[in-house]
């Protein structure tokens, strides 16, 4: 299933594998970011599948840019907490 098909199937939400492919990371990386608090908890289906909306790619891009500037994931998380 393509990302577009996945988005249509879930009303604009995409599964973790589709988002990971878009972001150039693995699904495990997204789960790790979620555990650290870098990503807010995603929507869930009744069966527990994670579904992500359009805010997540922007957040992942921010995390990658911050890392490229030399920030650790912990520092990025602190910055996101201040922002919220």
- Predicted local distance difference test score (pLDDT) of residue 55: 84
Q: What is the pTM of this model?
A: 0.79
pLDDT tens figures, 34-79: 999 999 999 999 999 999 998 898 899 999 999 999 999 999 999 8
- Predicted local distance difference test score (pLDDT) of residue 5: 44
- Predicted local distance difference test score (pLDDT) of residue 84: 62
**In the numeric block, which tokens belong to residue 43?**
């929507």
Residue for token pair 């988005």 = 7
Q: What is the mean pLDDT of residues 18-31?
A: 94
């Amino acid at each position: 299933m393509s990302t577009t098909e996945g988005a249509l199937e879930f009303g604009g939400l995409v599964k973790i594998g589709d988002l990971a492919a878009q972001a150039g990371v693995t699904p495990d990386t997204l789960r790790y970011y979620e555990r650290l608090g870098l990503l807010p908890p995603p929507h869930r289906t009744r069966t527990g599948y994670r579904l992500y909306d359009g805010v997540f790619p922007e957040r992942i891009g921010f995390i990658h840019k911050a890392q490229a500037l030399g920030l650790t994931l912990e520092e990025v998380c602190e910055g996101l907490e201040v922002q919220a």
